[in-house]
Amino acid sequence: MGRSKLRSFVGHSHIESPSIALSSLMNTDWVLCEVLELVRLEKTDTIRCIKSCRPNDVNCVLDPVHTISHTVISLPTFREFTRPEEIIFLRAITPTYPANQADIIFDITEGNLRDSFDIIKRYMDGMTVGVVRQVRPIVGPFHAILKLEMNYVMGGVVSHRNIVNVHIFVSEYWF
């Protein structure tokens, strides 16, 4: 993966610490990711790197990972936690022809300390959606990085994978 050329797309929103997402990104194998519009980085909440293999780079082509994203979310300490809170929605566009449709499997592969989160699959408006829920109360301050995977499976084989690293910050306050 280190030899692949990656392009980065930067979304626009507000976060308190964009350098955390960037430093984590730079510590991965995808260090060739270029951050476009670096001046605007302070206003971003998502960095997405897309794999673009060099000609004849077989290892890159065979690696199922197509994108790696980093995003940040801030949550309050929920004072009255009575049911799961839906906090993140991962959307995948499903093909028009269901016979050729990949089965999308969502998974939390790292960072789920204390099993505080889960991920369920839903179908909404022609899209497959992975919904990450906080299922246990968390008293802040707390920080975790959830590594989420969207695996596209066809014929029992992962055809490609998208990885989303979610930097979750839970405040000690309820407001």
Q: Where are the domains of the chain?
A: 5-170
Answer yes or no: is pLDDT of 13 > 50: no
129-147 per-position pLDDT tens digit: 999 999 999 998 999 999 9
Average pLDDT of the chain to the nearest whole number: 76
Residues 78-116 pLDDT 10s: 888 899 999 999 988 665 456 677 889 999 999 998 999
Tell me the C-alpha distance between 24 and 29, whole Å.
11
CB 152 within 8 A of CB 56: no
Residue 65 has a pLDDT of 94
Q: Is 96 exposed, middle or buried (0-12, 13-18, 19+ CB in 10 A)?
A: exposed
Nearest to 76, CA basis, from 152, 9, 140: 140
Contact 123, 91 (CB under 8 A): no
Fold of 5-170: Immunoglobulin-like (2.60.40)
CB 159 within 8 A of CB 61: no
Tell me the pTM.
0.73
> CA nearest 135: which of 87, 175, 172, 173?
87
Measured in degrees and rounded to the nearest 5, phi and psi for residue 119 equal -140, 130
